[in-house]
Amino acid sequence: MNDTLDLEKFWNEKHPQQKVLYSGRALPHQHYVIEGIQIDVRNMITVPDAILLQVIQDNDLKADSVDETMLRVQKWVVKNIKYVSDDENEGASEFWQFPFETLAIGIGDCEDGALLIASLAINAGIPSFRVRVNAGIVKEAPTAPEGGHGYCTYLAEDGDWRVIDWCYFEDSEVVIKDKPIFKNNQYYKDIWFSFNHIHSFGNKEYELSGRLKK
């Protein structure tokens, strides 16, 4: 078994794989909105996706290294997607957008940008085991209060996980190796669950109707 397969096996097995269902979608119905439609969170990361592959090609997001590819993806999302809350954008308390929806309207809240980052990164060739979308708690910061947040983490070439955020603590001008190591980052606290398009992880099976705020 080569080193890449060893690394993939290690990280896919290090944390418990669990079913994660989240009440993250809503649908219009006549004169009101039906909220709380459950999703298997893995399905919100779209791979393969011809729309995203075209974005990657048109904007030269795929680089020679996975670290540089991830940084280009983060920079592109920060530059091209505007943060707007679900209440303002969708008229729903919680609405997870598919990446193609976020691209189409150019706006979204925390998890929408995180899902887009993860989807672009994996479509650009970063192995899925290196990319996770996380839902959890962040501490109060100058940019936001303490509360629920959706964001990406990325297993960098040096073997440490880094936060790849686009709205809460956006650091797209900092190269990957200089970003704080995730386990040492004091602003990101307890994780409820995490996932990529293949696996979801948590300490229990989740069927949540909670809300991510940032």
**Cα 214 from Cα 206, distance rounded (Å):** 20
Per this entry, what is the length of the chain?
Answer: 214
Compute the C-alpha angle 58/61/62, nearest 5°.
Answer: 115
Using CB atoms within 10 Å of the CB of residue 139, give its burial: 0 to 12 exposed, 13 to 18 middle, 19+ buried. middle
Q: Which is nearest to 44 in space by CA: 102, 103, 110, 115?
A: 115
pLDDT tens, position by position, 71-126: 999 999 999 999 998 666 656 678 999 999 999 999 999 999 999 999 999 999 99
The residues, any chain, with a CB within 8 Å of residue 120's CB and separated by 6 or more, are: 52, 55, 56, 61, 73, 76, 77, 99
pLDDT tens, position by position, 133-158: 999 999 987 767 788 999 999 999 99
CATH of the domain spanning 15-207, picked from 2.20.25, 3.10.620, 1.10.3470, 1.20.58: 3.10.620
**Cα 174 from Cα 103, distance rounded (Å):** 24
Q: Indicate the residue type of 201.
A: F
Task: Give this prediction's pTM.
Answer: 0.92
